[in-house]
Structure 1
Amino acid sequence: MTMDRVDFVIPHMGRPEMLRETVDSILGQTVPERIASITVVTRNTGDLTLPADPLLRVIHAPGASSISEQRNLGTAAGSAALIAYLDADIELDPDWLETCVPLLSLNPDRVLVSAMQKPSGHAGKVEQLRTALSNLALDQSVQFLPGRNLLVYRWANERVGGFPEYLQTCEDYYYTDQLSGVGELFYTSACGYVHLGEDRSLAQTFHKEIWRSESNLMSMAGRPIPLREWPSILLPFWMLCAYLFLVLGLLAPVWLMTGAIMLVMPPVLYALRLYRHPRNQQPLYFLLLFYLVYFTARSIGTLKGARHLFRRKLTE
């Protein structure tokens, strides 16, 4: 087993044009000899019209229950010592492999390397802001990462048992948090990627954050919850209470005032913190609006997730 060869694993469902760009960016790497295989695990049943390449295989898994199951199926299809997990809407820098593989072996305690996000050439305010949020902690060890581009040792993946197939979302944070107990996760600015499917509007952020946060509560099962995660766990319930008090304000003005103060506090605190960050380029009013949309959406998603979790417990 060659230690510097990489199996790429890409779960896919929808948007085939972005998948093609993702595959093209892999085939365009400056060190193609390090690519052991490219496995696309798709829930689609039709032809994906991907480049004809001997390294590429497509596994049709329309019955896969989650993105995690797709990733685990793709992992089992390969045997290289290194695995690169990519989302199906990621355009890698041409030197991604050339840069990340040496970085992974640079520290004997390191088990994962991930590259920084870069904005597209036509990025608007929302994409620029989401890119900045992704890059708040660069060139250092981190506790968890999104699953957009993860280069990991196969043995480390086996140590944590792969991705949690019972989670519909948040599986990447759960997975990388588990990996952080095995070794160091390193987030580098030495190379990057463009998230082709990044949010381009506040409306997209609203709808996607509802979906992204539906597994928040379920992802807490079976692991200790560090102190740093409690704000993101409790804030959705804080916002739900704020909206409840606003409704009660129809009966008594004191509830209206309480709800308004509770509603604006999280967006104001988070917006001010990001406004002072050197990577931020957005005006304060836009940050306030973004966080109001963001926290409201996560509150709705968490409420939906709590309902699903309650139903699951009833059927156990």
Structure 2
Amino acid sequence: MAHNVIIIGSGPAGYTAAIYLGRAGLDPVMVTGALTPGGQLVNTTEVENFPGFPEGVMGPELMDNMRAQAKRFGTEFIADDVTAIESAGSDDAPLYRLALSDGETLETRAVIIATGSNFRKLGVPGEVELSGHGVSYCATCDGFFFRDKPIVVVGGGDSAFEEALFLTRFGSSVTLIHRRDEFRASQIMVDRAKENPKLTLLTNTVVTEIHGTETAPAAPALSLGGLALNPKPQVNVSGVSLKNTVTGETAELETAAVFVAIGHTPATDFAASVASRDEDGYIIVDGASTRTSTPGIFAAGDCVDRVYRQAISAAGMGCRAALDAQEYLSE
């Protein structure tokens, strides 16, 4: 049996699309991902800039609420990954076959790709362990939490400079670290950074390790159903180890936060056969719509958007994708 529409991805774009399609009576199916349904927000602590939550909301809670709302309107969830999409119909009756990582296949009349993108990581010790505890990939999301504290930004492009300049509103100081002596950022961004007294540019330097310090003792041990639970102490970023790429000299720098801004990798390889992509892998859509190069294939969220990358803009794009798909299915 062919489904009306399958949504690939379960972040704000995917859940919003599911809500709209479910309310339209199209019985959407969502392939959420096998390991990390909910997108990047499940790894975020407090979200203060999503409308409707004046006191803020935890990222996982926001995603749980979106999922519950999509489920309320009849969305079916499949916890798996899509590995490929291929055409399985005719010009008169387009149909698409999705291959899943468990070997199963699904057929559908329309597809919405909402797989988002992944932050490129430094790949140094401490980065994973301290993610959400001082290591961040979004200044607008987390900058506020480091008011009057020293901050490090890693990167050399416009995004890194934008984040560094934004973070000077909060941090006592901001140090932007770049591995080369020349920046990829536009000259106007570099000039603004040099003119900002709170911002220091550190070139020919790489971060080799991120360190953490215990900031709160562990909670008392608990027993649940006979199982002993030993909570771990709270550990937050306290500093970084640095290495000069020219001289090989090493140094230590105290900081309360490390913002990594070295780019994104859109999760779109599985869709290469049905959707045109740019040189960086972002799916190309038609103008302000969500239509891709293949009729019946739509895309929304961070797998399309290389500029804004916010939960609210992804949700808005998910709405547009649902309306575009609804119009396509009614033709």
TM-score if structure 2 supplies the norm length? 0.22
TM-score if structure 1 supplies the norm length? 0.23
Q: Report which of the two structures shows the higher radius of gyration computed on alpha carbons.
A: 2
* Larger proportion of helix: 1
Higher relative contact order (CA 8 A, sep 6+): 2
